[in-house]
Structure 1
Amino acid sequence: MTWVLEGLALVAVLVGWCLYKKKINEEEREKNSGIPRGTSGWPFIGETLDFIASGYSSRPVSFMEKRKSLYGKVFKTHLLGRPIIVSTDSDVNKVVLQNHGNIFIPYYPKSVTELLGKSSILQMNGTMQKRVHALIGGFLRSPQLKARITKDIENSVKLSLSTWKHKHPVYVQQETKNITFEVLVRVLMSIGPSGDLNFLKREYEEFIKGLICLPINFPGTRLYKSLKAKERLLKMVRRVVEERKVALEKTDDKGLANDAVDVLLRDTSESNDTQQHLPLDFISGNIIEMMIPGEDSVPMVMTLAVKFLSDSPVALKRLVEENMELKSHKAQSCDEYAWTDYMSLPFTQNVINETLRMANIINAVWRKALKDVEIKGYLIPKGWCVLASFSSVHMDEENYENPFQFDPWRWEKTGAAINSNNFTPFGGGQRLCPGLELSRLEISIFLHHLVTTYRWVAEEDDILNFPTVKMKQKLPITIMPMDK
């Protein structure tokens, strides 16, 4: 029996030694080839557990910080079953974002690709991606939409705020989701408060839960439930799109588009001397995808702005003064608010910038290299993934003094520019978020009417950063009218 145990021990040592030597040889080859330094971690799982654990910690960039201190701003690791190059260098990130299509293509977890589908604007490349991005971006930036949507956002915000005085406490995260989802569905499909809106919201909450989950699809799993919710969403959205198509054909309306459905239905491309419209299933699927900011990213920026301001009385006082001044001016002139009124409030925009920097709702983008590419002396091999980390750049002491401190005044200083490579809350390159101006407008309107209507006291709450950014308790606050 003893000799069997000794034999097994010897085999274990030999296997361990072979694995060790193999790892050393691979690292030596990669070092000589120009691949960034780093480690692959454990067999199969790599460093995935450390990566996820950092997302649940109070300092989610700790995974990046530790490896950056060991290997530099660009390093290799192994996450979610794939070898990955992680970049915390803003210059490298810029190249990854701008060299899109012919060198880098989107790469996302399987649950995302399963839920959104192959025709998703998030995953598509080339001419079609540029076409849809330009169509939606042009519509969302149009002065006509901004003039109209400003009033819609105001009405939605005021109606929501009027109900807060009856709620003890107010859960900011949930309330802001109600506001932003309603506004975005109106922009996308012209659906106002109704049974259809309630159906969309209920099913969408179920759908979006599966974006980051185990890619296991059988009855009872998270992915299965989310896919079923998407089927129900597609059925309803497809009905709206078909009805709108029939109406457009009857009227042959050439006026301004009312919403994103109109924009996509009216677009045609020339092919073999014929006009080709976008397929209805393609339009329906992408309308659903474009609802994500209304359910997730924009309401979280609003919520975290409230949290950061609650923890910074001096910043809150300055914000209230600026917005009360605008409110007083509007009361005296009897003029209605225009979108330019909200966007011209400098300290309010500084608060939004600082919240976007610290919140890091979109903390990174994932890309895959279609061929070997060298950036700043770093080799990214064909087939490897690149994680361009925005959060690491935003929280880097070389880019921002005291980066973990909420300081809206930093944006008044020379060098703190919103178009800097060091500030990318909306991504960049060909995939720069087309709704960034609408998002800023919505956040500005919400902050203006909140701070000129109520004072509040926030309860203690923690920010969770995995799988997405959210508040642990939905940020409960107790509100008091400003005139008391």
Structure 2
Amino acid sequence: MSTFPVLIVVSVITLLFLFKLVRKHKRDSTKNYPNGSMGFLPVIGESLSFVKAQKANRGQEWVEERVAKYGPIFKTSLMGGPTVFITGRAGTKFVLGAETEVLVPRQPVTISSIMGKHNLFEVAGTKRYKPIRQAMMSFLKPDSLQGHIKRMDSMVNARIDKDTRGKETITTLSFMKKLTFHVACQILFGITDDPTEQALYEEFGHCFEAMWSAPLNFPGTTFRKGIQARKRIVKKILPIMEKRKEQIKKGTLNPMNDVLSCMLSLETEAAENDDQEEPITMNEVIDNFVAMMIASHDSSASVLTWVIWKLAKDREIYDNVVKEQMSITDERKQRQQQGGGEADGRLTWGDVAKMKYTWRVVQEVMRVIPPFFGSFRTAIKDTSYGGYDIPKGWQVFWVAYATHMNNDIFNDPAKFDPSRFDSKSNIISPYSYLPFGAGHHTCIGLEFSRVEALVVLHHMVTKFEWSLVNSDEKITRLALPYPEMGLPINLIPKNSCWSPIP
């Protein structure tokens, strides 16, 4: 088929978009929009240059170039929609502190298409937000997680042993991705079948790549591959959900076993309650499963990879972490020798609570290399900030590095210093430290992520020492920061490694 007719169609569509934009500009000429460029092509805008900069770890420079040209508040077009960038602590407070009647955490079309329009971000500000969030929090709150700590410890211990057995070198990023996905499947969603887990792992990989791609739904594009992968995920998980629903109805499955069962129990209760105005649907459960699976493992894998990198680069930090973790191992040995209800040799909630220095190291890694460059919000009514109008429907993007590396907020921000997170001696201003968001938009999975990271690091540092294969490996970003080559490391098993009785 000739490409000439296609070019004509594309040209006509582009001209129509431009005509619409010109008309809209004339209608809204009384508004004071931020300065900036919306890009040459409608819809695509500056998406391609932004994604290119992110992949080269030049996202900060991309923003700073526009801040220097337009100011700390500027407009552009990203991921299919007009977008206002807001930088600095005051701007972050405005975005993350805004009520859901003004700004909601709805995502660009590329992200919402993969996660689904009923996920927790998309329903913020509606009646559906509270029950769905409560279902997730009923499992993710600390007192619920306490009951799963020993299972997580055994699972992580066994998986690390399995995936490192006989290996002198591992690629840290893929190792951590598979490990955190395994924990998410088993602990969060109750998926214990290995073939199902492996199939889902591959499909979610396509989904994650698609979320920060250009919104081009054509054969061969990254976005199209992500859409198709999501369809296969839904097809795979639906029979599992239907079976769980029946078990919950019969009373043979405890809804508190995992997050997925918690959500399905709401769906089941809603179906049996004729008085409920907006019953929870299977589509809502599916979308939140997809969204939470994406959120629950890739960010943790990225953070853990960079902690492993830092421990390899800084012997003093590594030795301090090992000292803390070995003291906990010694206490576990003593408990097992003394016997009693807690004497099965596995980590307890109290053990995790003692990992204070290790957690401060993780926090400092997330400050220096934020897991998220920033995030989108959407204005659901006309609003304004800094003297500029933000129309209803526009996206708003806040940036993490603008506060994380600000000398007025963190003393000597380029220095790696875990002690800055010692709450007894330092107070960090609200809306300044943002790996988990802030205010009432703080990530609901914070506590789960903390526990998971500490359990993984406990086993890594008590089992191994390691060195970097490539000491000068660069950072690339595909939404999250990754080592360019996946951070291969040389493993050195510790002869004194002790494992509890399985």
Q: Which amino acid aligns with 1:92?
A: G
Q: 2:108, 2:408 → 1: CA distance?
A: 31
Distance 1:124 1:256, change over 3 A: closer
Q: 1:62, 1:330 → 2: CA distance?
A: 48
8 Å contact kept, 2:373–2:400 = yes
For each residue in 1:193-213, what CA deviation from the matched residue of structure 2 results, as whole angstroms up to 9, or x when unmatched? 522222222222233332222
Residue 236 of structure 1 aligns with which residue? 236
8 Å contact kept, 2:372–2:400 = yes
Q: Which amino acid aligns with 1:63?
A: W
Shift of 1:355: 1.6
8 Å contact kept, 2:306–2:365 = yes
Partner SS, residue 341 of structure 1: helix
8 Å contact kept, 1:373–1:382 = yes
Map 1:146-165 → 2, pairs under 5 A:
146-148=146-148, 150-163=149-162, 164-165=164-165
Quick check: 1:459 aligned with 2:469?
A: yes
Q: 1:73, 1:416 → 2: CA distance?
A: 28
Quick check: 1:40 aligned with 2:37?
A: yes
Partner SS, residue 290 of structure 1: helix
Map 1:37-116 → 2, pairs under 5 A:
38-40=35-37, 43-44=40-41, 48=47, 51-69=50-68, 72-80=71-79, 82-116=81-115
Q: 2:414, 2:404 → 1: CA distance?
A: 9
Q: Which residue of the other structure, out of 305, 308, 333, is the alignment partner of 1:306? A: 308
Q: 1:296, 1:430 → 2: CA distance?
A: 23
Residue 399 of structure 2 aligns with which residue? 389
8 Å contact kept, 1:46–1:78 = yes
For each residue in 1:422-473, what CA deviation from the matched residue of structure 2 results, as whole angstroms up to 9, or x when unmatched? 0121123444221110100000011111111111001222211234322211
8 Å contact kept, 2:107–2:121 = no
Q: 1:202, 1:53 → 2: CA distance?
A: 24
Residue 262 of structure 2 aligns with which residue? 263
Q: Which amino acid aligns with 1:324?
A: M
Shift of 1:376: 5.1
Q: Which amino acid aligns with 1:60?
A: G
8 Å contact kept, 2:373–2:479 = no
Shift of 1:263: 0.9
Shift of 1:350: 0.5
Map 1:9-408 → 2, pairs under 5 A:
35-36=33-34, 38-40=35-37, 43-44=40-41, 48=47, 51-69=50-68, 72-80=71-79, 82-125=81-124, 126-148=126-148, 150-163=149-162, 164-251=164-251, 257-267=256-266, 268=269, 273-274=275-276, 277-334=279-336, 335=343, 336-375=346-385, 377-408=387-418
Partner SS, residue 425 of structure 1: coil
8 Å contact kept, 2:51–2:212 = no
Q: 1:341, 1:136 → 2: CA distance?
A: 25
Q: 1:449, 1:456 → 2: CA distance?
A: 13
Q: 1:135, 1:97 → 2: CA distance?
A: 23
Residue 471 of structure 1 aligns with which residue? 483
Distance 1:54 1:218, change over 3 A: closer
Q: 2:101, 2:359 → 1: CA distance?
A: 36
Partner SS, residue 362 of structure 1: coil
Partner SS, residue 480 of structure 2: coil
Q: Which amino acid aligns with 2:400?
A: F
Partner SS, residue 104 of structure 2: strand
Q: 2:201, 2:73 → 1: CA distance?
A: 40
Shift of 1:315: 1.1
For each residue in 1:103-127, what CA deviation from the matched residue of structure 2 results, as whole angstroms up to 9, or x when unmatched? 1134433222222222222322312
Q: Which amino acid aligns with 2:448?
A: L
Distance 1:287 1:370, change over 3 A: closer
Distance 1:418 1:153, change over 3 A: farther
Partner SS, residue 291 of structure 1: helix
Q: Which amino acid aligns with 2:228?
A: K
Which 5+ residue runs of structure 1 have no aligned equivalent?
1-22
For each residue in 1:157-210, what CA deviation from the matched residue of structure 2 results, as whole angstroms up to 9, or x when unmatched? 212332425123111111111111111112333122522222222222233332
Q: Which amino acid aligns with 1:302?
A: L
Q: 2:95, 2:66 → 1: CA distance?
A: 20
Q: 2:431, 2:238 → 1: CA distance?
A: 39
Distance 1:50 1:438, change over 3 A: same
Distance 1:77 1:251, change over 3 A: closer
8 Å contact kept, 2:156–2:183 = no
Q: 2:156, 2:274 → 1: CA distance?
A: 48
Q: 2:458, 2:429 → 1: CA distance?
A: 24
Shift of 1:79: 4.1
Shift of 1:297: 0.7
Q: 1:289, 1:48 → 2: CA distance?
A: 22
Q: 1:229, 1:49 → 2: CA distance?
A: 22
For each residue in 1:112-168, what CA deviation from the matched residue of structure 2 results, as whole angstroms up to 9, or x when unmatched? 2222222222322312122211220221115243322x1222122212332425123
Q: 1:418, 1:266 → 2: CA distance?
A: 39
Q: 2:335, 2:237 → 1: CA distance?
A: 43
Q: 2:241, 2:169 → 1: CA distance?
A: 39
Distance 1:127 1:392, change over 3 A: same
8 Å contact kept, 1:140–1:434 = yes
Distance 1:277 1:325, change over 3 A: same
For each residue in 1:197-232, what CA deviation from the matched residue of structure 2 results, as whole angstroms up to 9, or x when unmatched? 222222222333322223233443333332222222
Q: 1:42, 1:206 → 2: CA distance?
A: 27
Q: 1:306, 1:115 → 2: CA distance?
A: 30
Partner SS, residue 424 of structure 1: coil
Q: 2:280, 2:80 → 1: CA distance?
A: 36
Q: 1:128, 1:147 → 2: CA distance?
A: 28
8 Å contact kept, 1:111–1:210 = yes
8 Å contact kept, 1:353–1:418 = no
TM-score, structure 1 normalization: 0.84
Q: 2:133, 2:255 → 1: CA distance?
A: 18
Partner SS, residue 422 of structure 1: coil
Partner SS, residue 39 of structure 1: coil
Partner SS, residue 398 of structure 2: strand
Q: Which amino acid aligns with 1:423?
A: Y
Residue 13 of structure 1 aligns with which residue? none
Q: 1:318, 1:375 → 2: CA distance?
A: 45
Distance 1:107 1:456, change over 3 A: same
Distance 1:154 1:419, change over 3 A: farther
Corresponding pairs, count: 457
